Amino acid sequence: MRRLVEENKLDPKVIKGTGRDGRLTKEDVLAHMSSVSPQPKAAEVVKKIPVPISKPGIEGVRREPMSRIRKRIAETLVTAQQLRRC
């Protein structure tokens, strides 16, 4: 119940508790969430923003040579893909 309140950034003082001594229950929080108009979460808002595709040579894109370990990993992955195709 506490997790629901924190994740959805609810104010527990606004929700009326029906538990013992007026405590909040999970059902109280869920009922409050269903009665309040849903607000889009940050992740949903980010998905709606169009992201430009970066192309090499565009200002702000930095290209660096691969480290030795990255080169070795890339070589191993390419070899594995080629062996799988045979």
Q: What is the DSSP letter of 20?
A: G
Is 8 within 8 Å of 33 (Cβ atoms)?
Answer: yes
* Spans of all domains in the chain: 1-40
Query: Which pLDDT score is estimated for 46?
Result: 54
Stretches where the chain sits below pLDDT 70 are 37-58
Q: Which residues contact 16 (CB under 8 A, 6 or more apart)?
A: 22, 28
Query: Which pLDDT score is estimated for 67?
Result: 92
Helices (H), 1-86: 2-7, 26-35, 42-48, 68-85
Fold classification of 1-40 is Dihydrolipoamide Transferase (4.10.320)
pLDDT tens digits, one per residue of 21-38: 888 888 888 888 888 766
Q: Name the pTM for this structure.
A: 0.42
Query: Which pLDDT score is estimated for 55?
Result: 60
